[in-house]
Amino acid sequence: MTLNEFIEYLKSKRDYRRQIVHIEHIPARPARYASLKRPLLAPLAQALREAGVDRLYLHQAQAINAIRDGQHVIVATSTASGKTLVYNVPVLESILANPRSRALYLFPTKALAQDQLRSLRQLTQHVLRSLLFGTYDGDTPQGTRRRLRQSASILLTNPDMLHLGILPNHTLWSNFLTNLKYIVIDEAHVYRGIFGSQVACVLRRLLRLCRFYGANPQFICCSATIANPAEHAQRLTSVPAAVIHEDGSPQAAREFVLWNPPFVDVAHTARRSAN
């Protein structure tokens, strides 16, 4: 049964009658590629090839070019559009050019940090396998915490750990903060409301300490679901950011079906759960 046949089947069923109120076909979108203003360093280009990346999507190239130019950026493209490469590529390039360079990756959950840790391992498993990075959270053993604090080029953590475990002990992190070049904020749309205002304060505290130690890091923010990326990024980080939103990733054709679940009361004021 095709998707269209399945939709027609639902429309004909008594239990679903008059509940499917809108159907829209979203056509397929081909991939669009672009080139960087200058080539990547040879080890990084080799690592990307080994990971199966031989070309960059339009938004990836635009974002990396902007980051290389020293701009803060926020990338607002669709889910699974390759935003991880947007920050991994410039971060790894800066570390290859200057081994003392450091990067801080912030994720809203430990699970997401672990997912991105796996992606980073896959990208660096051959050519860049000597690079030290890791997650720094409540589950990190004390010995590993010390090693990451002293030698990690990339630290993956969350705002709570930044607030409670890193910033109060900034003298122990002085080498990391002195050389901090990039602050990556993934899933930036999560930081809204009271939670977002708290994280914004933590980030301002982080920037004050960075400047105290002589660093002026760039922000790289990513989000797939945000309507006002420029405003949101500036309110969150306190700095203006270039918006990259022209999605170059491919997308298969889709059928958008709007379904109103049935009413469950005589007055027609409550509907059945969509689940």
pLDDT at 4: 81
Question: Any idea which residue has 């938004």 for tokens?
Answer: 59
Residue 184 backbone phi and psi in degrees, to 5:
-100, 130
Residue 39 backbone phi and psi in degrees, to 5:
-65, 155
Q: 218-223 and 73-76 as β-strands: parallel, antiparallel, unpaired? A: parallel
Residue 223 backbone phi and psi in degrees, to 5:
-160, 140
Residue 244 bridge partners (DSSP): 75
* CA 164 – CA 231 distance, rounded (Å): 27
Torsion sign (Cα): 43, 46, 51, 55:
positive
Residues sharing a CB contact under 8 Å with residue 132, sequence separation 6 or more, in sequence order: 147, 148, 151, 152, 153
User: Element (H or E) spanning 106, and its range?
Assistant: strand 102-106
Does the pLDDT at position 267 exceed 80? yes
Q: Which two tokens stand for residue 194?
A: 């009271």
Could you report the per-residue pLDDT of 142-191, keeping only the tens digit for each? 999 999 999 999 999 999 999 999 999 999 999 999 999 999 999 999 99
DSSP 57-88: EHHHHHHHHHHHTT--EEEE--TTSSHHHHHH
Could you report the per-residue pLDDT of 82-129, keeping only the tens digit for each? 999 999 999 999 999 999 999 999 999 989 999 999 999 999 998 888
Could you report the per-residue pLDDT of 54-63, keeping only the tens digit for each? 999 999 999 9
Across the range 235-248, mean pLDDT stands at: 96
Q: Which two tokens stand for residue 81?
A: 């559009």
Against a cut of 0.75, is the pTM above it? yes
